[in-house]
Amino acid sequence: MAFDPKIKNDLIKILDEDRVKDDRVTLYTYRSDALILHPTMPMGVVFPENREELVAIVKLLHANQITFLPRGAGTGLSGGAIPKEGSVIIEMFRFRQIYDIDFANRSITVGPGVVNIKITEHVKENGYCFVPDPSSQKACTVGGNVAENSGGPHTLKYGVTVNHILGIEVVLPDGEVVELGGKQWGAPGPDLLGLFVGSEGTFGIVTKITCRLTPLPEKVITLLGIFPSVRDACSAVSNTIREGIIPAAMELIDNVVIQAVEKTIAPGFPLDAEAVLVVELEDMKDGIEEEASRVQAILNENNATEVRRAKNEEERALIWKARKEAFGALGTISPSYYVQDGVIPRSALPDVLGQISDIAQKYNLTIANVFHAGDGNLHPLILYNSKIPEEIEKADKAGIEILDICVSLGGSLSGEHGIGLEKQELMGTLYSSEDLSNMEWVRSFFNPQNLLNPGKIFPTPGKCAETKMGPQIVQSKSGVVA
């Protein structure tokens, strides 16, 4: 696969030869995102640096009916940045300008290639932060956060990406430039901004993003509950929320993950604990100590063997390093893993974690758990060996069963990773055919010829899982992860 010579020459005229690539190394590098599902070689990769270049590229590809898609850091976990065969990848990482900061209106305008954590680093000295904090925040870009409506541990209290985006500038699939939202809340008319965030790169390509800044809290208290069972830790989560306490974050880490992070990061988690629960409270100084005391009591009431409190910022940072680098740490105990992203009601956590354990035994696989317990966003990591076909098949079947459980309980297929390629054939288990048709109609308003990031989100005709009809949910029939 490579560019048609005429198309390549036209692209070089817009950019230059160094920013139009279709060599084998580049094509191989861009064949997948972090999911490594269904890797596919693109036609080529282009590297625009500004809106004018991007518009010219999009208009050229649109005129020649060539499919294309944007890509940021490639940290996505649902296959959203995997190209359809013959598609052109538009690499957006060079759009990393910080345009302006408006502290009076608590906003900052950035390019989509700006790495998530850089925003907080840029404004922290002035007492602000950008709340959405995915575990990949040291690498993922804000444009990708907008595409997937990313979450993170601290969105339990503050909301996900859509709650922190004020406005965006977008290049539509025909090259038209539009602005959605603005620099303040409450733009008049339909909420097209809210519709766009989470559209997984199928509506348009973002070129500027105005983000909402949040004041840093006066005080932060980080507690670590140590539990003899995952069920006890899950019960502590539900009981805390039931008391009317909404921590900034509640993250659960099971024993498999504890073993892995102790090998790589050594945060001091007890190796004999079946689970640890990270609870972070942040607010004004007045009243937070009383709230922390009540949370500690709830953890103890739910059989915590010990409750620790971070004594300083260094201890707090080490706890969060262990949580946010947990996925990578699992490489010490397994050559491959397949992470899921289902959502369930908090009250169902203990039972669902038990069912996940049963699924692991059924397929003779290890399933590790580290997830956003406060909002029921599961991240079971199915450990397997990608060099053994039978294990690939078992990992895929286990993942499908986990998602079927989530949907059957009134949950969803994804909390923040997106549908992409990974879960598109399962959409029929959650939505009726009429629901899916309406969604596709909305996409066609922005992307009428389906040239932008085709083949994502919606089931493939002829391969679609049976759809949900009324209250009944039919088991999905997804293929094998490859």
CATH assignment at residue 317: 3.30.70.2190
- From 215, 246, 261, give the residue that closes a domain: 215
Please name the amino acid found at residue 341.
D
For residue 103, tell me if it sits in a domain. yes
Distance CA 401, CA 477 (A): 10
431-440 contacts at long range (C-beta below 8 A, 24 or more positions apart): 431/467, 431/468, 432/467, 432/468, 432/469, 433/467, 436/467
Task: For residue 438, count other CB atoms closer than 10 A to its CB.
Answer: 11
- Asked if 452 and 205 touch (Cβ cutoff 8 Å), the reply is yes
Q: How is the beta sheet containing 20-21 ordered, strand by strand?
A: 20-21, 44-46, 88-91, 68-71
Residues 240-273: b if buried by 16+ CB within 10 A, e if exposed: bbeeebebbbbbbbbbbbbbbbbebbebebeeeb
DSSP string, 367-406: EEEEEEGGGTB--EEEEE-TT-HHHHHHHHHHHHHHHHHH
Instruction: Say what the pLDDT of residue 34 is.
Output: 87
For residue 468, tell me if it sits in a domain. no
For residue 276, the SS3 value is strand
- Looking at the 3D structure of the chain, how many domains does it have? 4
- From 64, 91, 118, give the residue that closes a domain: 91
For residue 79, tell me if it sits in a domain. yes
For residue 155, tell me if it sits in a domain. yes
Please state the separation of Cα 429 from the chain's center in Å: 21
Instruction: Say what the pLDDT of residue 183 is.
Output: 83
For residue 460, tell me if it sits in a domain. no
Instruction: Say what the pLDDT of residue 462 is.
Output: 52
Residues with Cβ within 8 Å of residue 382, at least 6 apart in sequence: 337, 338, 339, 340, 360, 365, 366, 367, 395, 398, 399
Distance CA 318, CA 311 (A): 11
- Asked if 367 and 382 touch (Cβ cutoff 8 Å), the reply is yes
List alpha helices for 265-385, DSSP H. Answer: 288-301, 313-324, 326-329, 349-362
Between the CA of residue 188 and those of 102, 106, 213, 471, what are the distances in Å?
Answer: 21, 20, 21, 37
Tokens of 272: 């004999």
Instruction: Say what the pLDDT of residue 186 is.
Output: 73
Residue whose structure tokens are 């907080």: 120
Residues 110-149: b if buried by 16+ CB within 10 A, e if exposed: bbbbbbbbbbbebbeeeebbbbbbbbbbebbbbbbbbbbb
Tokens of 351: 């039972």
406-410 contacts at long range (C-beta below 8 A, 24 or more positions apart): 406/342, 406/343, 406/344, 406/352, 406/378, 407/342, 407/473, 408/473, 409/344, 409/345, 409/348, 409/352, 410/344, 410/345
**Pair 103, 208 in one domain:** yes
Nearest to 172 by CA among 204, 143, 200: 204
**Pair 204, 104 in one domain:** yes
Q: What is the DSSP code (8-state) at residue 460?
A: P
- From 329, 360, 392, give the residue that closes a domain: 329
For residue 159, tell me if it sits in a domain. yes
**Using N-to-C axis directions, what is the helix angle for 389-408 and 349-362, rounded to 10°?**
160
**Pair 166, 178 in one domain:** yes
pTM for the model: 0.92
For residue 143, tell me if it sits in a domain. yes
**Pair 30, 114 in one domain:** no
For residue 154, tell me if it sits in a domain. yes
Which range marks the domain in which residue 354 is found?
Answer: 334-369+376-446
Phi and psi angles of residue 301, each rounded to the nearest 5 degrees, phi first: -65, -25
> Consecutive 10-residue runs of the chain (482 residues): their mean pLDDT?
93 97 96 84 97 98 98 94 94 96 96 98 97 95 97 94 97 97 81 96 98 97 98 95 96 97 97 98 94 98 98 97 95 92 93 95 97 95 92 93 95 94 94 96 96 95 47 31 31
Residue whose structure tokens are 């949370």: 295
Please state the separation of Cα 219 from the chain's center in Å: 28
Instruction: Say what the pLDDT of residue 188 is.
Output: 77
Please name the amino acid found at residue 46.
V
**Pair 117, 42 in one domain:** no
